[in-house]
Copies of this chain bind each other. A is one copy, B any other.
Amino acid sequence: MTDRLRVTYRVRAPADQIDARARGIALEQSVEMADSAITDPWVREHVVGRVEEITPESDHSYRVVIGLSALTVGDNRAQLLSMLFGNVSLQGDVDLVDADFPSAILDAFAGPNHGIAGLRRLTNAAVRPLTCSALKPQGASTAALSELCRQLAAAGIDIIKDDHGLADQITSPFDERVKACQHAVAGSGTGALYAPSIVGTPRQVARRLRVATDEGVRVVLIAPMVYGLPAFGELTEHHPDVAFLAHPAFAGTGRIAPALLLGTLFRLYGADAVIYPHFGGRFAYSPDECRTLADAARAPWHTIRPALPVPAGGMSVDRVGEIVDFYGPDVMLLISGDLLASPDVARQAERFVQAVHS
């Protein structure tokens, strides 16, 4: 724990310029003006960012730790993002790698309402890994999607979520789909949960969340970077009974380390479970990035509940053993395409469930 917000950047610069560059970042991310123009000694002492460490990583690449005063953030959940990666996000030689948060800032965040323990209670899965699958594709009718939902629920999948691309298209309007899919899972008798995709502006999302919870929905899917992290944080705070699965759409790669954005920040803003691309599928994360991300999501951290890591993205049922070995039991495996590509979806879903339970 620290009393400053300590932010780690990767900075590409020649050796003879890194000191000045680090100082420039400290100024840009705090006062946004030249040191020499600051006339107030209190501001210089308490507000100007400090270069705390510069560590060479490789030729022309350094890890730079900048210390920022906690008072620059206060309890403002939007301002935190500006302090972490505001103006310097526009400077191509800087990546945001890591952050260490003072309790003064963390205290403003409730984090996940349910977290791993809460999701285990909701799904009646005390110790084993959880299973998740997605309803696809965009453009399918409500009848087709709810029939798929019924099959996946009957197979014993714990959480059946909408694809994040299922919004409120005319092919399957939100209200109609929620009613049909929630009816399908409730009728399965297996305890499966349906998680609809909540896509829209804050007013639209509030309305859809109400429609969903009125139908008995306990878990929803939302993409925090599409929706906006401050709005997501407010949503999770004001709906403590709902569990939130966070989808990584629009989250990008590279400029913000995936572990920090999808693990740490999504958890901080209230994600109970975080979906991300597992290595070896259609996406480029490395095993090391996946492990660091899962650790960021579920390691003990202040008063913030652990979030459940949900590796996804082109995984097959044949890989279940390997993936569970990699993450241990506190994980939810999200497999969809490999089920839907099977000539017998229901049977492949059962194989998925059996592989995870055994």
Contacts and interface: CB of A to CB of B under 8 A. Distances in A.
A84 to B, nearest CB: 8
A22 to B, nearest CB: 14
A345 B22 CA distance: 28
A347 to B, nearest CB: 15
A28 B312 CA distance: 13
Contact of A252 (B36, B42, B230, B253): B253
Interface string A203-214: 111000000000
A88 to B, nearest CB: 8
Contacts of A227: 78, 228, 230-231
Interface in A248-281: 248-256, 261, 277
Contacts of A355: none
Contact of A136 (B33, B230, B252, B255): B33
Contact of A139 (B43, B93, B137, B201): B43
Where chain A touches its partner, the secondary structure class is loop
Contacts of A228: 226-232
Contacts of A340: 33, 37
A254 B92 contact: yes
Interface size range on A against B: 35 or more
Given A91-B283, A250-B86, A78 B201 contact: yes
Contact of A200 (B36, B76, B85, B226): B76
A83 B86 CA distance: 25
A71 interface: yes
Interface in A5-38: 24, 28, 30-34, 36-38
Interface string A190-221: 00000000011111110000000000000000
A226 B93 CA distance: 20
Nearest to A89: B252
Interface in A321-353: 336-337, 340-341
Nearest to A258: B90
B90 A252 contact: yes
* Most interface-central of A30, A43, A48, A96 (chain B CB within 10 A): A43
A74 B165 contact: no
Given A47-B139, A82-B223, A87-B248, 9 more contacts: A43-B137, A47-B137, A72-B138, A79-B168, A82-B167, A86-B223, A87-B313, A96-B253, A253-B255
